[in-house]
Structure 1
Amino acid sequence: MLTDIQLKRLKPQEKIYKVTDRDGLYVAVSPTGTRSFRYGYRINGRRETLTIGQYGADGISLAEAREQLIAAKKLIKSGVSPAVKKRDGKNQIRNAETFANFTVSYMKRASLADSTRSMKQAVIDRDIIPFLGNK
């Protein structure tokens, strides 16, 4: 079973290597020194790998990775692949309509006088899009 001290002491090597924790959780250490929590499992006769997250100050802790592992195991028991669910969530966010796209389509559809349209468009371009553009 891994500890935080052991995780901090893991050094990069020429090739990626794995250090096991428990319950199927392991840490993959890349040649650049990135430590990623992963979980290998089988569902519907297929082997899949869930990357839980990166370890470190800007990533997740060992305790958080273990909590996410428990949640992933619950999904597997119910017949849902956690890796597919995570991928679908990312695709949903990626395909979501941004505020900038919404305002463009709104301004095309709206029945406004030319002066009103240009005034609103100026406010949107100057004040709103720089703040909310791709959100």
Structure 2
Amino acid sequence: MPSRTASCSCGQLRIEVHGETLGVGVCHCLACQRRTGSVFATLAAFAAPYEVSGAATEYVRVGDQGGRFTFRFCPVCGTTLFHTEEGHEQSLVLVAVGAFADPSFPAPEDSVYDCRRHSWVQLPPGVTTFEKDPT
């Protein structure tokens, strides 16, 4: 089974995931824009198990649908590396695609909160878009 390792900018915090992605998506919600400092977040979902090394600081945010998401970031360099959703911590993790530092990483399949997408952002062909969160 293939594995991938994502790390923060300084290398102190790492996450190793196994197997292929369950999906790759982009989120244009304002919370993700603020969290990343970019105009969208790109995330890859992986099934457990996964291994984390290094110290992480946590931030919990409640989503529009009431889900509680725990974001883990490096207390040294501030990179947001991964997050989990309450009730799914043991089965699923979402990792920031850029933290893999792999230009050959698979393209996104879905785009959520397209209503907040900046007009100049162009998505790859075939990406399924949702005005808000479809769940």
TM-score relative to the length of structure 1: 0.26
Q: Which has the higher contact order (CA 8 A, sep 6+)?
A: 2
User: Whose strand fraction is larger, Structure 1's or Structure 2's?
Assistant: 2
TM-score relative to the length of structure 2: 0.26
User: Whose helix fraction is larger, Structure 1's or Structure 2's?
Assistant: 1
